[in-house]
Amino acid sequence: MLELARASDWEAVRRLSVQIHDLHANWRPDIYFSCDEPYPKEKFLEDIRSRMVYVAKIHDMVIGYVVLRIMEKCGPGTLPCKQMRIESICVEELLRGRGIGKEMIGDVRALCSAFGCEELILGVHPENDAAVGFYQKCGFTIRTINMQMKL
């Protein structure tokens, strides 16, 4: 389902990124605020060049996207590990719950293997119960819990 994004996909991806960003702005107004371009076009084009942004389409219409990062973990006392991180993933709001996200995750798993990664990771806000449940159904498990203290 996923294909490498093209520059011509920019406007559709921008619109979807606003949908996701607005959810975050509602959950965490202490961090996020609404904006028209949470995924800047320059960053989008850079991610295309590095083969890290993919889109899902139906009849040539972008209905979802995913932004990926590859990280090499290696340090004192840890085993080396190449990880793929889902930085952002979105399915068109009106099409959620139809298996599109599950298919996208399956394609990301294939990309993970193609890039030689051993782990697929992502972050999710705990307020996003639907996403937490979805990711668990896809096989993700909670690995760490980040905490913060406002000063």
Q: So what's the pLDDT on residue 59?
A: 94
- Which secondary-structure segment (H or E) carries 30? none
Q: So what's the pLDDT on residue 128?
A: 86
Q: What is the pLDDT of residues 116-144, one digit of tens each?
A: 999 999 999 888 888 999 999 999 999 88
Q: So what's the pLDDT on residue 120?
A: 97
Q: So what's the pLDDT on residue 41?
A: 97
CA atoms within 13 A on the CB side of 139: 9
> Which pairing describes strands 119-122 and 61-73: parallel, antiparallel, or unpaired?
unpaired
pLDDT tier at 148, thresholds 50, 70, 90: confident
pLDDT tier at 150, thresholds 50, 70, 90: confident
75, 112 contact by CB (below 8 A): no
The angle that helices 41-49 and 10-27 make with each other, rounded to 10 degrees, is: 120
Q: What is the pLDDT of residues 45-72, one digit of tens each?
A: 999 999 999 999 999 999 999 999 999 9
DSSP code of residue 39: S
Is a pLDDT exceeding 90 seen at residue 38? yes
What does the alpha-carbon distance between residue 22 and residue 128 come to, in Å, rounded to a whole number?
A: 13
What does the alpha-carbon distance between residue 117 and residue 134 come to, in Å, rounded to a whole number?
A: 22
Of 122, 112, 115, the closest CA to residue 143 belongs to 122
Which CB contacts under 8 angstroms, 24+ apart, belong to 41-46?
41/10, 41/14, 44/5, 44/10, 44/13, 44/14, 45/7, 45/10
What does the alpha-carbon distance between residue 52 and residue 146 come to, in Å, rounded to a whole number?
A: 25
Q: So what's the pLDDT on residue 77?
A: 87
Q: What is the pLDDT of residues 65-123, one digit of tens each?
A: 999 999 998 888 888 899 999 999 999 999 999 999 999 999 999 999 999 999 999 99
